């Protein structure tokens, strides 16, 4: 990595556009490597997709494309260290909320009845028990932001990137709050980034669990998941998600969809049908950054540019943040990436693709 010119004290070594979990995890990693980092966000840090997620570290989800495995396994391996470095900087611990996932076999996903409840044990024919953990993304977001704010990383909120022009190994950024020069730019704006990344809306709700329902594990079918919070401010709640909708940037929630999700969840745990026993405590929708092949775009935007992208993490942004930060920092610094990034080449989509300004 080439250092910024000395006469531009305010210029960062790396500028990151997008202060979601990917952008801020990368900012911390680059900062750890000695870089001066500025992060821009059109809105406020960690205010959209990153806090709408369920937080499953679902590296073994059978719905994931197989090419995602090496990156997701690397991220799972990095997670304890990722959380401890956030805790060291912020003073805020981010505990794992669950440590097991019961994954329904696809043939049983739509044929569940309460007689199957005893099946929710390891070794069941209907469910496979996976060693998968989850975190509370809102707890993670608060700690990550506090960690970043305790470093020299600059976050410029309410600053949208309007254009980025490469010339002579410098990138001139035009933003809604002024211009900025940087030798390296990384686009991490999720659903608001490249034209090949489309928002895929997910509605979900969270419900309070009665003391009679001690749910400590994630339950997941091909249709829905139930994710209990066991620690921290939302302990005793369970998330029920999620729809997958292609409706642009709309984030409204609809009773009909939430009722559908609750009914599906009640087929797994019948108590969830009872709104008095398990009242709704929150409802929201997030915009997953989807790509045509459900794989992220990680790497250099074009061969002759020092603009990089780390977008399109679709359903796995929380899971993939530590490994994405690691591999992007490695390639920006000029090292070999820990993981083969060939399947994630940003150049695999047609050249008409471009940055969505
Ligand atoms: N990560 C869970 C979802 O996309 O619904």
d(CA 117, CA 349): 45
Antiparallel, parallel or unpaired: β 184-187 and 14-17: parallel
- Any residues with Cβ below 6 Å from ligand 1, and which? 53-54, 56, 202, 241-242, 288, 315
d(CA 136, CA 93): 11
* Size (the chain), residues: 357
Spatial CA neighbour of 280 closest among 299, 259, 304? 259
Question: What is the residue-averaged pLDDT of the chain?
Answer: 91
Please provide the DSSP assignment of 199-248 as one string: EEEEEEEEEEPPTT----SEEE-SS-EEEE--SSTTTTEEEEE---B--T
For residue range 41-97, list pLDDT tens digits in order: 999 999 999 999 999 999 999 999 999 999 999 999 999 999 999 999 999 999 999
d(CA 94, CA 43): 25
Q: Span 184-212, mean pLDDT?
A: 95
Q: What is the pTM of this model?
A: 0.93
- In this predicted structure, the answer to whether residue 16 has a pLDDT above a threshold of 60 is yes
Helix (H) or strand (E) run with residue 90 in it: helix 69-90
- Is the peptide bond between 242 and the residue preceding it cis, with omega within 30 degrees of 0? yes
Q: Span 191-215, mean pLDDT?
A: 94
Atom of ligand 1 nearest to the CA of 317: 1
- In this predicted structure, the answer to whether residue 5 has a pLDDT above a threshold of 70 is no
For residue range 25-38, list pLDDT tens digits in order: 999 999 999 999 99
Residues 164, 91: contact at Cβ < 8 Å?
no
Q: Which of 22, 133, 140, 241 to mutate to test the pocket of ligand 1 (most atoms within 8 A of CB)?
A: 241
Q: Which of 313, 315, 321 to mutate to test the pocket of ligand 1 (most atoms within 8 A of CB)?
A: 315
How many angstroms separate the alpha carbon of residue 167 from the centre of ligand 1? 39
For residue range 224-282, list pLDDT tens digits in order: 999 999 999 999 999 999 999 999 999 999 999 999 999 999 999 999 999 999 999 99
């Amino acid at each position: 990595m080439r250092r910024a010119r000395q006469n531009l004290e305010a210029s960062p070594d790396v500028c990151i556009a997008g202060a979601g979990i990917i952008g801020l995890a990368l900012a911390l990693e680059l900062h750890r490597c000695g870089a001066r980092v500025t992060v821009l966000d059109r809105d406020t840090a960690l205010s959209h997709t990153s806090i709408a997620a369920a937080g499953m570290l679902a590296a073994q989800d059978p719905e994931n494309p197989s090419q995602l495995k090496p990156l997701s396994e690397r991220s799972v391996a990095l997670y304890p260290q990722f959380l401890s470095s956030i805790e060291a900087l912020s003073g805020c611990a981010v505990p794992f909320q669950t440590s097991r996932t019961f994954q329904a076999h696809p043939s049983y996903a739509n044929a569940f009845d309460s007689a199957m409840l005893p099946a929710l044990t390891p070794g069941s024919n209907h469910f496979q028990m996976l060693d998968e953990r989850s975190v509370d993304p809102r707890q993670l977001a608060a700690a990550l932001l506090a960690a970043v704010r305790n470093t020299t990383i600059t976050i410029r909120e309410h600053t949208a990137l309007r254009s980025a022009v490469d010339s002579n190994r410098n990138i001139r950024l035009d933003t809604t709050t002024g211009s900025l020069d940087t030798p390296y730019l990384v686009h991490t704006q999720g659903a608001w980034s490249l034209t090949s990344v489309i928002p895929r809306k997910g509605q979900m709700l969270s419900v309070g669990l009665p003391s009679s329902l001690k749910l400590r594990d994630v339950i997941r079918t091909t249709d829905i998941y139930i994710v209990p919070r066991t620690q921290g401010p939302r302990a005793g709640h369970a998330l029920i998600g999620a729809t997958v909708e292609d409706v642009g940037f709309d984030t409204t929630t609809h009773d009909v969809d939430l009722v559908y999700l609750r009914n599906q969840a009640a087929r797994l745990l019948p108590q969830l049908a009872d709104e008095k026993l398990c009242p709704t405590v929150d409802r929201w929708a997030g915009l997953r950054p989807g790509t045509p092949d459900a794989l992220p775009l990680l790497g250099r935007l074009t061969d002759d540019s020092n603009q990089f992208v780390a977008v399109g993490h679709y359903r796995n942004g929380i899971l993939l943040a530590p490994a994405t930060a690691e591999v992007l920092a490695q390639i920006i610094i000029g090292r070999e990436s820990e993981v083969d990034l060939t399947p994630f080449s940003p150049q695999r989509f047609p050249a008409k693709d471009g940055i969505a300004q």
